[in-house]
């Protein structure tokens, strides 16, 4: 009789307790993955919470707002890209300025290629209908890229 219920006690699956900061990182990773979906609509906290199998309240224990989640993604973009840009600028084996400028541009493009969800943040697509300070912050990011390119290419004019 395979249809008979099992008499073995069922043990609930224990919920894995993440270390401090890991849940926050997980939230950002899932948000970035959701942004990768082609034609993705505006992402709601309800959809994000459902994907993580958490309550919206749990999201808000880690981030005060959805805008704060996007700010954290922008911080990641800035840290990643400008860390690489600084390595190019400070390289002990100097490239000629046009080569450095090309490498900087390449870093930005490769970062976008490897992180399609974050590219939607960089170009502002994911920030439509979000707080305008997020768009301003992304614009500052590109202003800094432009400034880095000008700094590197200034050596050609001197």
Among candidate residues 32, 143, 27, 21, the one with its CA nearest the CA of residue 82: 143
pLDDT per residue over 3-27, tens digit each?
544 444 444 434 556 666 788 999 9
Q: In angstroms, how far is CA 85 from the centroid of its own chain? A: 18
User: The whole model's pTM is what?
Assistant: 0.81
Token code pair at residue 20? 């401090």
Helix, strand, coil abundance in the chain, percent, nearest 5:
70, 0, 30
Q: How far is the CA of 104 from the CAs of 53, 116, 135, 158, in angstroms? A: 39, 18, 22, 20
Mean pLDDT of 76-89: 94
DSSP summary character for residue 7: -
DSSP summary character for residue 126: G
Mean pLDDT of 63-70: 93
Q: What local confidence, expressed as pLDDT, does residue 126 receive? A: 83
pLDDT per residue over 96-145, tens digit each?
888 999 999 999 999 999 999 999 999 888 888 888 999 999 999 999 99
Give residue 33's pLDDT band: very low, low, confident or very high (50, 70, 90): very high
- Average pLDDT, rounded, for the chain: 85
In the predicted structure, residue 93 carries a pLDDT above the cut 90: no
Over pLDDT 70: what percentage of the chain?
Answer: 84
Q: What local confidence, expressed as pLDDT, does residue 40 receive? A: 62
């Amino acid at each position: 009789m395979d249809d008979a219920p099992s008499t073995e006690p069922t043990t609930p699956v224990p919920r894995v307790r993440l270390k401090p900061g890991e849940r926050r990182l997980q939230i950002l990773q899932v948000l970035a993955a959701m942004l990768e979906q082609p034609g993705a609509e505006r992402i709601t906290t309800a959809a994000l919470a459902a994907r993580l199998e958490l309550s919206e309240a749990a999201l808000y224990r880690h981030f005060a707002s959805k805008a704060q989640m996007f700010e954290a993604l922008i911080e990641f973009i800035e840290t990643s890209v400008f860390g690489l840009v600084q390595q190019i600028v400070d390289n002990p084996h100097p490239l000629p300025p046009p080569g450095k400028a090309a490498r900087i541009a390449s870093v930005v493009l490769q970062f976008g290629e490897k992180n399609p969800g974050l590219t939607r943040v960089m170009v502002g697509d994911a920030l439509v209908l979000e707080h305008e300070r997020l768009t301003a912050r992304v614009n500052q990011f590109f202003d800094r890229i432009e400034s880095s390119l000008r700094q590197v290419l200034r050596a050609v004019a001197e």
